[in-house]
Structure 1
Amino acid sequence: MSIASLMLLFITSYYFVYHSYKSVSYQNKIRDAIVLNSRQSSIGETILPDFYFSKLLNANDRFDEFFNPMAFSKYYNINSVKLEKVDFDYSVIISGHVINNELQGESLLSLYYSDTKSFMPCTLSFALNGDQREFNADKSISLSIIFKNGESEAQDFKPSPVNINGRLYIGMSVYGININKIIKLVVKQENKTIGIYSLN
């Protein structure tokens, strides 16, 4: 392999590692806030979202994710802790932009979205209104993306609600779009519109 090829590989790998670790650092801030809230409120079991790594060229670029619940609980002086798997980059909740749902009283509240980055997906996360029983997690969600030029496209995804600091969220990664070219997002479930979000 030539030096130029090695340099390109290194730069590409570093690019993904940088963005992934940056997201994980924000995720850790969210986890710290959850632990602090648990210590102050003395709740029974602390639900901690697991780390989510975005795209990496090599899976070994991740740091060691070993987790010992008993040691963690003792170190942070909380009753007990449980890790919950998350299938989206929830760092967007504190690092992204937020828009309120134009429809009142629906199962979705605010939308959190990330900026467009080269070769990276746009992360979308929706805060749920109420608890999981009020949201049909067994039914897919249809996301209509309406662009400023009048074109549109639809993507479906299966929601998987996760508890993050007492609020339920769902999220997805959308590839191949430029968030700056979008004017509106419309969310439907079972042919019912449950969210309208105007961007820009």
Structure 2
Amino acid sequence: MKYLIAGLGNIGPEYALTRHNIGFMTLDRLAAQHDFRFSFERLAYTAEWKHKGRQIHFIKPTTYMNLSGKAIRYYMDTLKIPIENVLVIVDELQLDFGTLRLKPKGSHGGHNGLRNIEEILGTQTYARLRFGIGSDFPRGRQVEYVLKAFTDREMDELPVFLDRAGDITLSFCTSGVQQTMNIFNQ
């Protein structure tokens, strides 16, 4: 069984610890914990790892957030991974910082990365792990907020949430979306 896990973010050191890069951060944390490495390939940094009989392919698209669908479609097609085995990890303004919600489908909700994935795949029916980044910004300052680094307090708390996101990701691959939602969604 093959799985494709796409952590969304933007490439470049100026984006490394920003809220919009929580997908990249989640995959980097998993890689550090399980000793696999990313390498630069076509349209993404990629890694693969075997876990409980599953072949898991991880990608961090290099297409920037707003064109994430291009990399996801390419790796789905190249690796022959069905959409039900795809998970996208994405930042979510509508959830409090650290809140994690797995969903089997849904609208893009104004998120440009998810909007592009929906356009490229032609469907809203793909699993996504929404990672809450909060919405503590003045009206009209959303872009500034998501491209800003986490606060010191948030950085101190982040490892616990990244570990939980990693647990959810691995559970998705071994137990499926429904059972994982039952275990982890509150």
TM-score normalized with structure 2 length: 0.27
Of Structure 1 and Structure 2, the greater strand share is in 1
Pick the structure with greater CA Rg: 1
| Structure showing the higher helix proportion among its residues | 2
